[in-house]
Chain A
Amino acid sequence: MLEIKGLHASIDGKEILKGIDFSVQAGEIHAIMGPNGSGKSTLSAVLAGREHFDVTAGEVMYEGFDLLKLSPEDRARNGIFLGFQYPVEIPGVSNVNFMKTAINEKRKHMNQPPLTAAEFLKLMREKMEVVEMDKSFSSRGVNVGFSGGEKKRNEIFQMAMLEPKLAILDETDSGLDIDALRIVAAGVNKLKKPDNAFIIITHYQRLLDYIVPDIVHILYDGRIIKTAGKELALEVENRGYDWLINP
């Protein structure tokens, strides 16, 4: 599904990603762990197309085409989703209207007619249940006045609505209490299918108790320094990163 080869990216001339290689197959959950400043958020932003970063070398193939050539909106319409670490507030734009615009742009891209109001509301209700979201959320401005936990749930809700093929969740667990964490993880597990894949970026093993990864990568100083199975996350939890950084 996704193949990253020798990916380098920088911001204002400062290199953050210094050669990333890995690939993701459909049905897999990958976890990317690493200390602060190792480049985890940069990697997720580059995959989703944030123009803030310059890709200086390497390639990313997604479903057989060159991902880096697409605008962020075209990546989204082709099934890439980024769950933000800090979701943005959009006052005056209700969650309903925001999602309606997003869904219909995607459908237009796929040559499908827009959803009718009834179809849309039904879909919205179904997906709000996935993250145990209160009905009142739909008429409120996107993320406006939401607590940290509500914002993250809203990210998972948006993901559920858009049904991406590849979802990248950037520190979705940060700032969550245990109940919110459980709801977010349950949402991800409900959405996991054989034909989609997840990249979960996290600081802590905690989230991976609920979402069990197939593969764990350790990112440090812009490079993946170790890749192994789910047991690697536990080992990092117990021993920290030092043994990997200074072997």
Chain B
Amino acid sequence: MSEKYTYTPEIPEVFRCRVPLPGTHQAFLMNGKLRDEEGQGSAATIVAGEPLGFNLNVSKGTIMPDSLQIITVRDSDNTEPISYTNNLTFGAISESNILLCSHTLSMDEFKTESEMNINVSEGARVNIVVMQNEHNRSSHRVRFNINLAKDSFLRINIVSLHGKMLENEIDAKLTGEGATCELNGIYLVDGTQEIHTTVNMHHLVPRCTSRQLFKGILDDESKALFFGKINVSQDAQKTEAYQANHNLLLSRKAKVYAQPQLEIYADDVKCSHGATSGRLDEMALFYMRSRGIGADEAKILQQLAFVYAVLEKINNEELRQRLQDLVESRLRGEFGHCTNCSMNCC
């Protein structure tokens, strides 16, 4: 069992995370520094990095019974730009469920940069859900460096709810035959918020699979960039690689820049990529309204339906429902300020 992290008095009381599930173990990273360094459980050990960040290790053959939630928080104790590295290592044939949340607690202008080195050993299965909910003066850039060994499986679902500027750069290397990498994301932006998603998927050896599905809803003058590239090396025969990016624009001034790319040097592969951007579907809205559902409600339902294809990929049903509720309240405009915080800073 991994060490159970609980709220400590030093965590400001205004912070209420709505995501954790019963039985979820928690660890807090306050302004980059891990609270409590005693996480030497047998399922997952988590220790502070030097000087900042954390090192998470799931040993060989370990099957984590519950989820581990790591909550990254920025607050007024340190308003300087910070950068740190997290190392996540998953031993052979282990199974893990990790939830990574990021929040901001004070109205300061935060700049956070983190590296997330994820190593998945032979035959390991890892599910990671990333939930980003920061205020409108916070910029956060995360670089995911992923390495997948033989027959391993990694799925990352990123739910970006709020933030001034969120950048997720994912560099994934499939280095062992039979590895599978699944990357999915939802981003919801409005006002002048901006989100960048960069994916470089490298198929280096034969018989690996990668799937990517990113969906975004943009309102007002918000902006989204999606740059996605699948590289298939000459040796990587029998590769299956798919990538899709779909965007729903609710306003004329919102902008999407999508650049899906394929670079294939092998000749026996199945690959596809695509990007779309569109508006709410008039026919679908009419269908709902013709059942007596008001125009505003019909629009919300359609937006929920639009991102559902990504939510559906979160395999923990309880967690999926909670995230769906958060997405819904975000779409309903109930995030005027972060619901996790009473500072009214956004």
Contacts and interface: CB of A to CB of B under 8 A. Distances in A.
B293 A105 contact: yes
B257 interface: no
Interface stretch (A7-15, A87-95, A129-137, A203-211): A87-95
A71 B289 contact: yes
A77 B292 contact: yes
A158 interface: yes
Contact of A92 (B284, B298, B305): B305
Interface string B278-307: 000111101111111111011001101101
Interface string B6-38: 000000000000000000000000000000000
A40 to B, nearest CB: 17
Nearest to A159: B291
Contacts of B297: 101, 105
Contacts of B305: 90-93, 141
B312 interface: yes
Contact of B293 (A45, A48, A82, A102): A102
A84 interface: yes
Contact of A50 (B281, B286, B324): B286
A97 to B, nearest CB: 9
Interface string B328-346: 0000000000000000000
A52 interface: yes
A96 interface: no
Contact of B292 (A88, A93, A102): A102
B161 interface: no
A95 B205 CA distance: 44
A158 B292 CA distance: 11
Contacts of A77: 292
Given A90-B301, A90-B305, A92-B312, A84 B291 contact: no
A88 B285 CA distance: 9
B293 to A, nearest CB: 6
B309 interface: yes
Greatest chain B CB density within 10 A among A73, A92, A103, A105 is at A92
Contacts of A90: 284, 287-288, 301-302, 305
Contacts of B308: 91-92, 141
B291 A162 contact: yes
Contacts of A102: 291-293
Given A88-B283, A93-B301, A93-B304, A49 B292 contact: no
Contacts of B282: 51-52
A208 to B, nearest CB: 24
A44 B291 CA distance: 14
B166 interface: no
Contacts of B148: none
5 contacts: A72-B289, A76-B289, A92-B324, A98-B291, A98-B293
Given A51-B286, A92-B304, A106-B292, 4 more contacts: A72-B286, A84-B287, A90-B284, A92-B324
